[in-house]
Structure 1
Amino acid sequence: MSSTPLFTTPPPPPPPSINRNTLSANVANFPPSPDKLAILLDKPNSINQLLQIHATLLRHGLDQHPILNFKLQRSYSSLGRLDYSLALFNRTRNPNIFVYTSIINAHSLQGLSEEALLIYIRMLFEGVQPNEFTFSSILKSCSIQLGKMLHSQVIKLGFDSDLYVKTGLVDVYARGGDIGSARLVFERMLERSLVSLTTMLTCYAKHGELDEARLLFDGMVKKDVVCWNVMIDGYAQHGRPNEALVLFRRMLATKARPDEITLLAVSSACGQLGALESGRWLHSFIKNNNIQVTVRVATALIDMYSKCGSLEDARLVFDSIHDKDVVAWNSMIIGYTLHGFSRDALDLFHEMCRTGLRPTDITFIGVLGACGHAGLVSEGRSLFNAMENEYGIEPKVEHYGCMVNLLGRAGQLEEAYDLVKNMKRESDPILWGALLGACRLHDNLELGEKIAEFLVSRNIANSGTYILLSNMYAAKGKWEEVARIRTLMKESGVTKEPGCSSIEVQNKVHEFLAGDLKHPKTKEIYMMLEEMNGWVKAHGYTPQTEIVLHDIEDWQKEQSLEVHSEKLALAYGLISTKPGTPIKIVKNLRVCPDCHAVIKLISKITGRKIVMRDRNRFHHFVNGSCSCGDYW
């Protein structure tokens, strides 16, 4: 802690009159009563005013006055001068429980749990008995291990029925990931405040127990904006964005006013769904309600618009930000990368560097990804080397992943393999998976088998490992090997993620699986599919049956291709929107080559722009061409 003297020169002589605004400058020579000083200490205007009052206390022998000393210490902490507060505490003779609790609380609020614990231990050695406020203060930032020890003391000293202490314990267990203990303490609470309910709600939502969270949320009589935020953000963070949007609309119906946290969560949900109209409505809501668009909110809107397929809207928001931070630049760079506009992403990167902002590790994920989408191998190598050499940023797994993708897609498999083998940190299954994907792309079964064997032998293979290897065998017609891999998958409990495509029509998101028959307009959708088939075949389309990796007849393979989820979503878009309007589709997996070829032709035949976001990037289909240049 700082040992710098608190005061230098005495304050100037006082003017004739004394009021609250000028008192701190007057009290040096004409001190008011301790009661008036106490009022000033409750709400100091600035650290300078507080220093003047402190000087007055020292000058007139009031520095050990128990109430004034306590309030002074607390005020220093509230103004961010914990060092001054601690210096005062250390000079206090025989501090009582209130003084101890105040300094413990100040350290806890700063996240200094170890220091708070040391003061707590000192208090016990001095024979000062903790009270309920002491426990609720120290529990704010302590670890779960310390929390368990304090829990036993809470019970021993009889504070286990106190509402604030129990809320603190729930929070400790929740932060430590011990949901069972948090639930046990919560359920034993005879009384529950809004804070305790919100604490348990946060615990459930943070750890993905969303059904439990919703049950608790729906049972809450009173809900403030924090409760709504916890539940909406929980849905958005754990892959249930549709429910996040539904709950947000319900929140607005109750007249609750959203804040910045709400807007960030809802923007994220819109981005995940690719729900552009919902995102535009949210942006209009912000404007119409005069909600301040902070850099953080603007950055979330850039991210949302980029993921919803509208780079134009994203760029308008980006250009409207006056004091752009590096996060805002990163968001726009990654937006260009997602859409395959690699040169725009790299140009924006160089423009950012010219402004004097230093790139971060996220920036390099964006620009290396841009190189990967365009096959810019030499530029990618140069940027990767510049990370450490010019900017002092040690590459992370994600950066190695970008390089593996860049080299692998460009057919430089051996260089990519050497990069993964020789990387400074332990290689990640995702890197090997990316390399395995490149082997599948370039039909290198020998290297693919070597990588798959490595992953399986170390028990780090995932569903992607098995599926890629199975696909490689299927492409070679090795059906016995395909059967063996699928048996391995079953024995290992690995399941394949089903392909799912979604489309937003009139602010409602419609989802489709391959061969889906659950949609209310299934009959019309399949009639449109037949019509689409006729169109594309008349334009020379031949089904790419070789990508159907099952040992079945060709006619069955054709039928399988016809009902892929993205084609169902496209058919629904064609029958549900006006001719000439753009269609936007989101798929959770990589778009297959057959669907890619069909959508290119449909864009030409119908004169529609079709935008598809798959797991890797955006594809903009216009007049028979795709923005990816068939390099994806």
Structure 2
Amino acid sequence: MSSAPFFTTQAPPSTPPAKRLSGSPSPFSCNLQQPDRLALLIDKSRTISQLLQIHAVIIRHGHENHPILNFKLQKSYSSLGRLDHSIALFSHIDSPNVFFYTAIIHGHAVHGLHRQAVHLYANMLENGVQPNAFTFSSLSKSCSLEPGMVLHSQAIRFGFGEDLYVRTGLLEVYARGGDVRSARKLFDTMPERSLVSWTAMLTCYAKHGDLDDACALFDEMTDKDVVCWNVMIDGFTQHGRPNKSLGLFRQMLEAGVMPNEVTVLSVLSACGQIGALELGRWLHSYLVNNGIQINVHLSTALVDMYSKCGSLEDARLVFQNINAKDVVAWNSMIVGYAMHGFSKGALQLFDEMRNRGIHPTDITFIGVLNACANAGLVTEGREYFNLMSDLYNIEPKIEHYGCMVNLLGRAGHLQEAYALVKNMAIAPDPVLWGTLLGACKLHGNITLGEEIAEFLVSKNLANSGTYVLLSNMYAAAGNWDGVAKVRSMMKGSGIQKEPGCSSIEVDNKVYEFLAGDSSNPKSGEIYRMLEEINRWLKAHGYAPQREIVLHDIGEREKEQSLEVHSEKLAIAFGLISTRPGATIKIVKNLRVCSDCHEATKLISRITGRRIIVRDRNRFHHFMNGSCSCGDYW
């Protein structure tokens, strides 16, 4: 039977035949001459050594051409990682039937040799061997969307279009290829659905951001295993909804489903996104108390979580206890040091890593360049940037250029930063332009800022950050006509400013605040504490920075606007909700403003509290009236 156009390529050359296995007597040779007994032993073999001994017995007793034994040997060799032996056996078969073809196709598919699996299928059709249901379900693991559609048509032509396993495999093909509509259509027409098909459909929705549809489907399921829960938890984590992810994790535990390594990795990532340190610590304890081996992958995830949740001490402790540190582990610790502003520690760790012979990656240099940017180390930053390509043959990516623009711009080298952007080997993105625009605002270079903003608007690259930064520059210069012009442009483009949001974790629960928020049940207590804070600040000489308010309003209105910024509300909530002396940790989605930065320094001195704030760019550790950033951020 001729194949479809896609399946017309030749089969791959076979591996040279393996030598016959013979020699000393095998412990399996006694009373095991019957093929059915040998077949049973093959099924029970768990190591390659056992399988080789059984193979030797088969040859010694003249069963080397027995179809069932050869089929089982071929399949077992593949499952134990010796695909070469499996191919050698297949190459000795004069007229392989569908079972032999299916076994060798399956072996290539599970080992990631997808092109070879498809070639074998083409060879099978060319030799007139008709596939069965297992052929299609095995081959579906190797198909991308376009050949998968051809495979679907062939499954129907050969009469296997309604088979549960075949349909489930095809569903996975459509899901992987992003054809959500076809996947759902196939799912809806299945007369019965396996747990695998439910999971495949869930994966399709989470992977492509259709989280509401995924939730609706998940709620319909009566039988949910750990894989289903993992798909949902990871989907919300990957798409920036960590609170929902953590909520699902709690439901999973209440349902009595035991988490595995995949679950833990997703939940730790969610904890890091919102700064849920206590939940992250509980999860760490859960691993230890349940005897789950904390391998290098879990350890690295813990380092990343602790760093992002503000506990660099815990991150450092986990890192030090990793026995075989790979480059990913080193990168996590270097990035952790950099984001907390401990630039010297990050660079020392980079030197130690190189001295141990570990080759840095592009991620390593993002951490190193960020460390330089946070400390204003311009000369060192230039050297590391050049080191990437000169010594390690790593071509700079957009993130590395962003680090350099941030470093140069904040240090006042605006023209050098501008020249770097214009002469980049790759096209700059809006984030990079926004970084340069922010540097223009910082140093009051309105002329260059206007030039950049006009360019972005003309190229349809402007986003809310572009307009806000330009408005900030006009407001700082008292140019309220310019501010009004920018706001008119934003309104005309339908662009809205991203609202500032601050979160704080108390008693394993994360609370979020917007500016002027009154939705918290303790809102009355929060605002009374805020009034108390304002009295403390004024008594210590604090003067509100009214000039940063981007509205042409009265001075008292500007002052009131500053008093209810989201991070101040979160701090007030932390003061009334935690024991005296406890550290307060805040996560903010935007860069902390200069007024809140100055106020938080004073609050830390007045209350004797350590206050840690993670903003969009970095961590600020406030203690005894000073900040770890040295007022350079």
Whether contact under 8 Å (1:136, 1:168) holds in the other structure is yes
| Equivalent residue, structure 2, for 1:629 | 630
Match of residue 111 from structure 2? 110
Shift in Å, 1:155: 2.7
Please, which runs of 5 or more residues in structure 1 have no aligned partner?
none
Aligned: 1:243 with 2:244: yes
Give the structure 2 partner of residue 439 of structure 1: 440
CA contact (8 A) 2:14 2:87 kept: no
Shift of residue 53, structure 1, vs aligned partner: 5.0
Q: 1:605 to 1:81 in 2, by over 3 A?
A: same
2:437 is equivalent to residue 460 of structure 1: no
1-structure distance, mates of 2:132, 2:496: 53
SS of 2:517's equivalent in the other structure is: coil
Paired with 1:448 and 1:100, the residues of 2 have a C-alpha distance of 66
Counterpart contact for 1:225–1:257, Cα < 8 Å: yes
Q: Tell me which moved more, 59-68 or 549-558.
A: 59-68
Hey, what's the Cα distance between the residues in 2 that align with 1:308 and 1:435? 28
Q: 2:215 corresponds to which letter in structure 1? A: R
Amino acid paired to 1:102: A
Q: Could you tell me how far apart the structure 2 residues matched to 1:334 and 1:13 are? A: 57
Q: Structure 2: which amino acid aligns with 1:441?
A: L
**Match for 1:13 among 14, 18, 24?**
24
| Larger CA deviation: 47-56 vs 254-263 | 47-56
1:11–1:52: 8 Å Cα contact kept in structure 2?
no
Letter in 1 for 2:565: H
| C-alpha separation in 2, matches of 1:44 and 1:289 | 30
User: Which residue of the partner structure matches residue 99 of structure 2?
Assistant: 98
Structure 1: how far apart are the matches of 2:495 and 2:44? 61
SS of equivalent to 2:550:
coil
Matched, 1:365 2:366: yes
Confirm whether residue 615 of structure 1 aligns to residue 620 of structure 2: no
Within a 5 Å distance, the mapping from 1:65-84 to structure 2 comes to: 65-84=66-85
* Residue 134 (structure 1) aligned with residue 146 (structure 2): no
1:190 equivalenced with 2:191 (yes/no): yes
Distance 1:495 1:176, change over 3 A: farther
Question: Quick one: distance in 2 between partners of 1:57 and 1:392?
Answer: 53
Structure 2: stretches of 5+ with no match in the other structure: 1-12
Per-residue displacement from partner, 1:564-609 (whole Å, max 9, x unpaired)? 1001111111111122211111101100000001101111111111
Q: Which moved more, 1:510-519 or 1:280-289?
A: 280-289
Equivalent position SS for 2:444: coil
Specify the alignment match of 1:578 in structure 2.
579
Equivalent position of 2:159 in the other structure: 158
Mapped to 2, the partners of 1:160 and 1:485 lie a distance apart of: 59
Q: Residue 406 of structure 2 corresponds to which residue in structure 1?
A: 405
Q: CA deviation at 1:351?
A: 1.3
Matched, 1:279 2:300: no
Counterpart for residue 570 of structure 2: 569
Please say which of residues 39-48 and 315-324 is displaced more in the overlay: 39-48
Q: AA paired with 2:307? A: S
Q: Report the counterpart of residue 148 of structure 1 in structure 2.
A: 149
Could you tell me how far apart the structure 1 residues matched to 2:279 and 2:80 are?
Answer: 42
Q: Deviation of residue 211 (structure 1)? A: 2.0
Distance, in Å, in 2 between the alignment partners of 1:279 and 1:85 is: 45
The 3 A distance-change label for structure 1 pair 604 and 229 is: same
Distance 2:630 2:405 in 1: 20
1:330 alignment counterpart: 331
Give the drift of 1:51: 4.8
Query: Which amino acid is the alignment partner of residue 613 of structure 1?
Result: R
Q: Which amino acid aligns with 2:372?
A: C
Going from structure 1 to structure 2, the CA distance change for 1:157 and 1:489 (only over 3 Å counts) comes to farther
Q: How far 1:384 moved relative to its partner?
A: 1.1
Distance across 2 between alignment mates of 1:528 and 1:55: 81
Aligned residue in 1 for 2:553:
552
Question: Alpha-carbon deviation of 1:335?
Answer: 1.0
- Larger mean Cα displacement after TM superposition, 576-585 or 210-219: 210-219
Q: Counterparts of 1:83 and 1:453 in 2: how far apart (Å)?
A: 62
Instruction: Flag the 1:11–1:98 CA change in 2: closer, same or farther, 3 A.
Output: closer
Aligned CA distance change for structure 1 residues 139 and 490 (closer, same or farther; 3 Å): farther
The answer for the alignment partner of 2:595 in structure 1 is: 594
Shift of 1:45: 4.7
Query: Quick one: distance in 2 between partners of 1:320 and 1:553?
Result: 57
- Looking at structure 2, the residues matched to 359 and 441 of structure 1 have their Cα atoms a distance apart, in angstroms, of 33
Tell me, in whole angstroms, the C-alpha distance in 1 between the residues paired with 2:385 and 2:64.
60
Contact 1:2 1:83 (C-alpha < 8 Å) held by counterparts: no
Kindly provide the CA deviation profile for residues 397-420 of structure 1, in whole angstroms up to 9, marking residues without a partner as x: 111111111111111111111212
Q: CA deviation at 1:311?
A: 0.9
The Cα of 1:58 is off from its aligned counterpart by 5.6
Q: Which residue of 2 aligns with 1:492?
A: 493
- Counterpart in 1 of 2:10? none
SS at match of 1:439: helix
Task: Please tell me the residue identity of whatever aligns with 2:593.
Answer: C
Task: Read off the aligned partner of 1:161 and give its amino acid letter.
Answer: E
Preserved CA contact (<8 Å) 2:115 2:142: no
Q: What residue is the counterpart of 2:177 in the other structure?
A: 176
Q: Which amino acid aligns with 1:231?
A: M
Name the SS of the counterpart of 1:139 in structure 2. helix
Tell me what 1:294 maps to: 295
Matches within 5 A, 1:42-61: 42-47=43-48, 50-51=51-52, 53-54=54-55
SS of the equivalent of 1:509 reads strand
In the TM superposition, what is the alpha-carbon distance from 1:60 to its structure 2 partner? 6.0
Deviations 1:115-137 (A, max 9, x none): 22222222222222222111111
Distance 1:175 1:258, change over 3 A: same
SS of the residue 1:158 aligns to: coil
For residue 631 of structure 2, give the secondary structure of its aligned residue in structure 1. coil
Specify the SS of the correspondent of 2:142. Answer: coil
Q: 8 Å contact 1:6–1:51 — kept in the other structure?
A: no
Q: CA deviation at 1:80?
A: 2.2
Greater alpha carbon shift after TM alignment, 197-206 vs 157-166: 157-166
Give the share of equivalent positions with the same residue, in percent.
Answer: 67
Structure 1 pair 245–3 and aligned structure 2 pair: CA distance change class (3 A): closer
The answer to whether 1:35 aligns with 2:31 is no
- Please give the alpha-carbon distance, in whole angstroms, between the structure 2 residues aligned to 1:308 and 1:45: 43
**Counterpart position of 1:537:** 538
Contact 2:118 2:142 in 1 (8 A): no
Supply the distance in 2 between the matched residues of 1:444 and 1:563 (Cα, whole angstroms): 30
Per-residue deviation, 1:48: 5.0
Amino acid in the other structure paired with 2:24: P
Determine the C-alpha separation between the residues in 2 that align with 1:246 and 1:157.
46
Q: 1:44 to 1:321 in 2, by over 3 A?
A: same
Q: Deviations over 1:5-58 (max 9, x none)?
A: 5228x64332xxx6xxx22xx59xx98233333234334454455455556656
What letter is aligned with 1:34? Answer: P
Q: How many residue pairs get matched?
A: 621
SS state at 2:141 partner:
coil
- Structure 1 distance, partners of 2:337, 2:45, is 49
Q: Shift of the alpha carbon at 1:61?
A: 5.3
How big is the shift at 1:546? 1.0
8 Å contact kept, 2:17–2:88: no
Change (3 A) 1:5 1:139: closer
Indicate the RMSD between aligned Cα atoms, in angstroms. 2.0
Match of 2:7 in 1: none
